[in-house]
Structure 1
Amino acid sequence: MSGFPKDAMRMLKETSRTFYIPITFLQKELKHSVASAYLVFRAIDEIEDHEELSNDVKYTILMQVSELFKQPFDNDEYVRILGETKDQMPEVTLRLEEWLQACPKDVLSIVMDAASEMAFGMAKWAKENWEIRTREDLDDYTYYVAGLVGVLLSELWEHYGEEETDRELAIAYGRGLQAVNILRNEKEDLVERDVSFVPDGWNRAKLFEYADENLAKADEYMKSLQKRSILLFCRLPLALAHKTLKAMKEGQEKMTRAEVEQTVKEVQIH
């Protein structure tokens, strides 16, 4: 991967088991764009997920970071925004400027716009303590943390002249993956963070329905893709989401490592 920092790929591998492999399927420019975008999103995601920061602190930091993405990135200002929380932040968050520098210049504004919107949405929901009351709330939250990634990917496919895709289906693709994560981490979120992403009056079956509905749209999204490298990229996270959902419906907590490895192989054969 000439011209792209090796260290960025190392960090990608360390922070994402689901996306590292699919990213390696992509062609050069697209690979660099998606890898750097993922690291930028991960950097702000770690602020939202931080276990030791209060919601007010998260809100303040994320709102300021959202504004920061609207102009050429100023790392001194970023360090100032993080302030005393800097010592508690993981490496991926502290090195945000490097991930932006690694991004191909012609798509940097696309990535920064998406990151700004994501940080804004995360800030909003941190302030609300992620109190998801209605289906609309769930749709809003899953849009900011995952649907938006679907939109960004669609914009990148289009920018490089590879694919034209339906934005609504792209959002559903991201939402479907996030719904599976919510189901998988439901107990943990409640116990460790005292947070529930389940709307009032919903039971687990209703959440399964929500995941199924969005994954069905994600399957539709797949039908519009032509280019093999992009198909491979999108196919793996979706296959893992479908299989994880099936495993949970059958009472397992998640897929086994062997099942994951088998899925990676299957995806590449078709």
Structure 2
Amino acid sequence: MKGLDHLLSAVSRSFYLSMRFLPREMRPGVAVGYLLARATDTVADAVDMDCRERLALLRMMGETVAGSASREVAATCFGRLGVLSTIQTHRGEAELLARFPECLALLENLSPHERMLVRQVLASIVEGQAWDLMYFESHAAVSCPEQLEHYTYMVAGCVGEFWTRLGLLAQGPGFSTQPEEQLLRWGRHYGMGLQLVNILRDREEDLARGRSYLPAPDDRPWLDRAERWLKEGVFYAESLRNGRLRFSTVLPAWLGLDTLELLQRADRRHPSSGKVKIARGDVYLRMWKAFLFSWKEAL
């Protein structure tokens, strides 16, 4: 697709930079999966649309990605995305929605196995996004730990599994020193940990919107769980044989752990304005350490 690099950089500079470090054979599947997931996420977050309209559009997008939508459903989906793109304030997201049919064409150009993996992960992500919209229409808070874990799996843990299966498909035994079962577990928890960091970081903002993803006021157990899961992400990265993959995989884990440290140090009685954010200099330092890490021998 013409302008794919531009589109990726327009919707996420950090992801675009990380993707450029991936082995060439993994880039198409990862890029297409990311663009499709970012498009559905944009619809899920479209606050100017009624919740039922967003749910209906999400389901149509899910059907088109799965390849099960009729021509009429696909045409309706593309038309509604086109209209939504005209009112998006984020230029990159507006372009992404308008070019959603081109993203689907990219999906069709993948190998059958890659296409199946992308469809599987998108089905889970859309299910999680739809659950989010429906649940908070009638609830103010997640009711139990199991519910939160299931949600973090649907929208992020499944991505760790997708990454693992795609890497094994592309590189075979050269992907990692660890067996597939171990990698799937680490990858699943890694993705869930990253999502949990987002939830913890955005907690005050979500409360202001009348929702809480944490089933209890005390966030300490979830801080601890997020730390444990992110450390599994570091174990995952240490097992990878390819230096480029090691760099791309370990960096989000380290930045997530840094974010948790900032959250743990924050004075809950006097919360600072805005989100906890890692300083740019610290991000560059982590990138340098990740570069050095990429040269280490796989464990």
TM-score by length of 1: 0.87
Q: Which protein shows a greater Rg?
A: 2
Q: Is the CA contact (8 Å cut-off) linking 1:43 and 1:94 kept in structure 2?
A: no
Counterpart of 1:144 in structure 2 is 154
Counterpart of 1:226 in structure 2 is 241
Task: Give the drift of 1:79.
Answer: 4.5
The one-letter code matched in structure 1 to 2:21 is F
The one-letter code matched in structure 2 to 1:189 is D
Which 10-residue stretch deviates more, 90-99 or 70-79? 70-79
Partner-residue secondary structure (3-state), 1:148: helix
Counterpart of 2:206 in structure 1 is 189
Partner-residue secondary structure (3-state), 2:212: coil
Over 3 Å counting, the alpha-carbon distance change for 1:39 and 1:110 in structure 2 is same
Task: Give the drift of 1:72.
Answer: 6.6
CA distance in 1, matches of 2:218, 2:2: 45
Task: Give the drift of 1:58.
Answer: 2.3
CA distance in 2, matches of 1:35, 1:136: 31
CA distance in 2, matches of 1:76, 1:257: 47
Task: Give the drift of 1:156.
Answer: 0.6
Over 3 Å counting, the alpha-carbon distance change for 1:223 and 1:75 in structure 2 is farther
CA distance in 1, matches of 2:159, 2:230: 15
State the structure with bigger RCO (CA 8 A, min sep 6), 1 or 2: 1
Q: Mind listing any 5+ residue stretches in structure 2 that lack a counterpart?
A: 86-93, 267-271, 294-299
Q: Is the CA contact (8 Å cut-off) linking 1:18 and 1:237 kept in structure 2?
A: no
* Pairing 1:1-270 to 2, within 5 Å after superposition: 5=1, 7-71=3-67, 77-81=73-77, 84=80, 86-89=82-85, 90-103=94-107, 104-106=109-111, 107-129=114-136, 131-160=141-170, 161=172, 162-163=174-175, 165=180, 166-191=183-208, 193-199=209-215, 201-251=216-266, 253-270=276-293
CA distance in 2, matches of 1:35, 1:25: 12
Q: Is the CA contact (8 Å cut-off) linking 1:19 and 1:237 kept in structure 2?
A: no
Which 10-residue stretch deviates more, 237-246 or 81-90? 81-90
Over 3 Å counting, the alpha-carbon distance change for 1:124 and 1:216 in structure 2 is same
Task: Give the drift of 1:202.
Answer: 3.7
CA distance in 2, matches of 1:119, 1:105: 20
Q: Is the CA contact (8 Å cut-off) linking 1:37 and 1:99 kept in structure 2?
A: no
Counterpart of 2:296 in structure 1 is none
TM-score by length of 2: 0.80
Partner-residue secondary structure (3-state), 1:261: helix
Which 10-residue stretch deviates more, 71-80 or 36-45? 71-80
CA distance in 2, matches of 1:155, 1:75: 31
Q: Is the CA contact (8 Å cut-off) linking 1:27 and 1:229 kept in structure 2?
A: yes
Pairs aligned (count): 264
Partner-residue secondary structure (3-state), 2:3: helix
Partner-residue secondary structure (3-state), 1:69: helix
CA distance in 2, matches of 1:232, 1:118: 25
Over 3 Å counting, the alpha-carbon distance change for 1:83 and 1:69 in structure 2 is same
Q: What CA deviation, in whole Å up to 9, does each residue of 1:113-158 have, x standing for no partner?
A: 2212211221122111174211111111111111111111111101
Partner-residue secondary structure (3-state), 2:58: helix
Percent identity between the two aligned chains: 26
Over 3 Å counting, the alpha-carbon distance change for 1:91 and 1:189 in structure 2 is farther
Partner-residue secondary structure (3-state), 1:128: helix
CA distance in 1, matches of 2:158, 2:238: 20
